[in-house]
Each structure stands twice: as structure tokens, then as C-alpha cells.
Amino acid sequence: MSAPEKNIGDILLKVENISLSFGGVKALTDISFEIREREILAIIGPNGAGKSSMLNCINGFYHPQQGTITYRGEKRKQMRPHEAAKQGIARTFQNIALFKGMSTLDNIMTGRLLKMKSGLFTSAIYKGPAEREQIEHREFCERIIDFLEIEAIRKVPVGRLPYGLQKRVELARALAAEPTLLLLDEPMAGMNLEEKQDMCRFILDVNDEFGTTICLIEHDMGVVMDISDRVVVLDYGRKIGDGIPDEVKSSQAVIDAYLGVQH
């Protein structure tokens, strides 16, 4: 069953003329694109094209030397990652960044950190408001556990989980922050076909159920073409394509970037 036409909304985040360099290395050059509400946008490109750098700029980890990022109609000044998180931008990482010794549940609970209000004192007493708050957040996390079907590993330390499940836990933690914009850095790298199918379904479900806007980096073209509404193509730090999957697939510049051209 195909879902009815998706209701893609206004511009959520606008990137204008971003340039980023590390010393003499130009990671990003004059990049502009926009992410609209409720869409799934894929950023693709060969290795070293600047995809992860782009995500790092959006989430405030890198600070571009030039250009502006407008998020929810507001031009962003220099921003730190935790401020981006407060504004509703959550992400997962290319190399899993979970707390290996903590259980799945605890890892997901850390995603609720910014939503917790009890201070040091009330938390230390625990009974009363802090306990109520804890229960509330736990319930939210349990909904995510149910959603991503990871009940069986709730109490297992994530270090003991296989790779595909760790990726899923990372997604769960990002979702726990109730993000408006979810950045996924290669959510399917290193997965087998079945794990990829599961992950695709979860990404589509998150997008559909919670209306979360998703910006993802992915190498598997099959996946990208299947699930994204729009694709942005980077190569050597420049944008060489932007459009719906079919357009991008047939664009000569993109084909050249992927297959190489004779000079």
C-alpha cells in the first residue's frame, strides 16, 4: 500500500552559500540548499565530498567561515551542538557514539536529558517530582523501544549488541529528544539486506508517524532512491545536483561524479 501524497511543508532549514575550510583544505564551497518540513532529504556524494561536514555544520559542530544557516526562519549565529539540540535538531553518527557500558534503555534515556527539569537537589531526594518526571520520561522511551522493536535488548549493555542493533539504539536515542529535524549519518552502513530493510521501514515510519523532518547521508543508492523525497549531491565540496530522485539519477554531472570521467 502506498501512502497518499505527503504533505511537505515550508522551508525548515535553509543553507545559503556555506563555505568551510580546514587550513588550506576546502571541505565545502558555496553550498546552498533547503530542507522542507516533513520531507526526507538525502545528501549523497563520493567519499570526501563533504557530506558529514555538511551535517556537522547544520548541527553546530563546525562553524562555516562563510554563509548563513536559517533555521525556522531565524538566522543562526555561531552555535554549539547542544544549542542545536535544544532547538530540536538530533543526529546519529557515522561511527556509533553510544555509551558502550550502559544498557539500551539508559542510552535512550540520555536522549531525554534536555527535557528533564529536576535539578541536582530534587534528583538527589528523588521521591516526589523527580520520580514523577523519571516515570514520564521512561514511558516516552518505552514508546520508542516499542516503536523500534528493541524490547528484547532493553537491559543489555550496548557494547554487547551486534552492529545493526547498535545503529537502531542510536536512532532510538536521537528520537528520544523528540527532534524536529533528524540528521542521520550513514544509518545503514555495514548492515545486511534485512537490517537495511528494517531501518528503511523505521525511517519512513518515523517520518510518517511523528512528522519528523529527516536529512540523511547514505551510500546505498537503492535505499536513497527509494525512501527520499529529494536528493542533494555533493562532489569535492560543491553541490552538483539537487532534485527528486529520478532527476538526480539521470543527471550527467552526477553520473560523472560517481563513475568518473576521462579528462
Partner 1 sequence: MSETSGQPDGRDPLGRDTIPKFFAYNAQHRRDRPAMREKALGIWQAWSWGEVDARVRDLAGGLAALGLKRGDKVTIIGDNRPELYWAMAASQSLGAIPVPVYQDSVADEIQYVIEHAEARFAVVENQEQVDKLLSILDRLPMLEIIAYSDPRGLRHYGQPFLRNLADVTKQGAAYNAAHPGFIDAEIARGSGNDLAIICYTSGTTGRPKGVMLSHDNVVRSANLAVAFDKLNENDQVLAYLPMAWVGDNFLSYVESAVTGFCMNCPESADTVLQDLREVGPTYFFAPPRIWENLLTTVMIRMEDASAIKRRMFHFFIGLARRAGRNILEGKPVALTDRLLYALGEILVYGPLKNVLGLSRLRLAYTAGEAIGPDIFDFFRALGINLKQLYGQTECTVYLCMHTDTDVIPDTVGPPAPGVELRIDEKTGEVLFRSPGVFVGYYKNDAATAETKTADGWVHTGDAGVFTDNGHLRIIDRAKDVGRLTDGALFAPKYVENKLKFFPHIKEAVAFGDGRDHVAAFINIDLAAVGSWAERNGLSYTSYADLAGRPEVYALIRGCIEQVNRDLSSDSSMTASQIKRFLVLHKELDADDGELTRTRKVRRSTIAERYGALIEALYSGQPSIAVEAKITFEDGRTGTFKANLKVDEATTYSTMRKAG
Closest CB 140 distance from partner 1, rounded Å: 10
Strand order in 11-22's β-sheet? Answer: 25-36, 11-22, 66-71, 74-75
Closest CB 151 distance from partner 1, rounded Å: 5
For residue 52, CA distances in Å to 9, 95, 185, 215, 259 come to 25, 11, 7, 11, 21
Closest CB 152 distance from partner 1, rounded Å: 4
Number of separate helices (H) and strands (E) present in the chain: 10, 10
**Buried/exposed code over 13-49 (b: 16+ C-beta within 10 A; e: otherwise):** bbbeebebeeeeebbbbebebbbbbbbbbbbbbeeeb
**Buried/exposed code over 84-101 (b: 16+ C-beta within 10 A; e: otherwise):** bbebbbbbbbeebebeee
Measured from the CB atom, the residue of 152 and 244 that comes closer to partner 1 is 152
Closest CB 192 distance from partner 1, rounded Å: 18
Closest CB 177 distance from partner 1, rounded Å: 19
Measured from the CB atom, the residue of 57 and 165 that comes closer to partner 1 is 165
Measured from the CB atom, the residue of 91 and 112 that comes closer to partner 1 is 112
Measured from the CB atom, the residue of 34 and 142 that comes closer to partner 1 is 142
The residue type at 172: A
C-alpha closest to that of 150 among 133, 175, 130? 175
Measured from the CB atom, the residue of 31 and 165 that comes closer to partner 1 is 165
For residue 191, CA distances in Å to 104, 138, 168, 223 come to 19, 29, 11, 12
Closest CB 129 distance from partner 1, rounded Å: 21
Task: For residue 22, give every residue at least 6 positions away whose Cβ sits within 8 Å of its Cβ, in sequence order, or none.
Answer: none
Measured from the CB atom, the residue of 82 and 143 that comes closer to partner 1 is 143
Closest CB 223 distance from partner 1, rounded Å: 19
Backbone angles phi, psi at 116, to 5 degrees: -85, 140
- In the complex, the residues that contact partner 1 under the rule CB under 8 A are 1, 3-4, 138-139, 142-143, 145-147, 149, 151-152, 154, 205, 208-209
C-alpha closest to that of 18 among 76, 71, 62, 65? 65
Measured from the CB atom, the residue of 208 and 247 that comes closer to partner 1 is 208
